[in-house]
Amino acid sequence: MESSKVIHAFYNDDEVLMDAVKAVKAEHLHIEEVFCPFPVHGLDKAMGLAPTRLAITAFLYGITGLAFAIWMTNYMMIQDWPQDIGGKPNFSWWANMPAFVPIMFELTVFFAAHLMVITFYMRSRLWPFKEAENPDPRTTDDHFLMEIPVNNNEAKIIDLLASTGAVEINVVDKH
Partner 1 sequence: MYQFSGKLKTFSLALILIGLVGIGYGFYSAPKTVEEAKEIIAQQASHGDSHATSHEEVSADGHKSEAHGESHASVDESHDDAHAEHVLHQLKNKPWSAVYVALFFFLGITLLVLAFYAIQRVAQAGWSILLFRVMEAITANLVPTSIVMVLIVISAVMHWNHMFPWMAEGVFDPTSPNYDPIVDGKSWWINVPGWAIRSIIYLALWNAYRWFIRRNSIKEDTANDGGKTYKLSYNVSVGFIFVFMITETMMSWDWIMGLDPHWFSTLFGWYVLSSLLVSALTVIALVTIYLRSKGALPGVNDSHIHDLAKYMFGFSIFWTYLWFSQFMLIWYADIPEETTYFAMRFNEYNFPFLAMVVMNFAFPVLLLLNSDFKSIPWFIVIGGVAILCGHYIDIFVMVMPGTVGAQWSFGIPEIGAILFFLGVFIYATFSSFAKASAIPTGNPFIEESKHYHYYNIEHRGEGSGDHH
Chain residues that interact with partner 1, rule: CB under 8 A: 15, 18, 41-42, 55, 59, 87, 98-99, 101
Q: Which residues pair with 148 in a beta bridge?
A: 7
- Rounded least distance, CB 46 to partner 1, Å: 8
Residues near 166 by beta carbon (within 8 Å), at least 6 away in sequence: 9, 10, 11, 20, 146
Listed residue (144, 173, 174, 138) closest to 161, CA to CA: 144
- Rounded least distance, CB 51 to partner 1, Å: 9
**Shorter beta-carbon distance to partner 1: residue 77 or 158:** 77
**Shorter beta-carbon distance to partner 1: residue 41 or 130:** 41
**Shorter beta-carbon distance to partner 1: residue 30 or 41:** 41
- Rounded least distance, CB 87 to partner 1, Å: 8
Residue 32: C-alpha distances to residues 6, 35, 128, 149, 153 (Å): 9, 10, 25, 7, 15
- Rounded least distance, CB 39 to partner 1, Å: 10
DSSP H or E segment with residue 103? helix 97-124
**Shorter beta-carbon distance to partner 1: residue 106 or 159:** 106
**Shorter beta-carbon distance to partner 1: residue 43 or 169:** 43
DSSP H or E segment with residue 10? strand 5-11
What are residue 142's phi and psi, to 5 degrees? -140, 15
- Rounded least distance, CB 11 to partner 1, Å: 15
Listed residue (121, 127, 105) closest to 57, CA to CA: 121
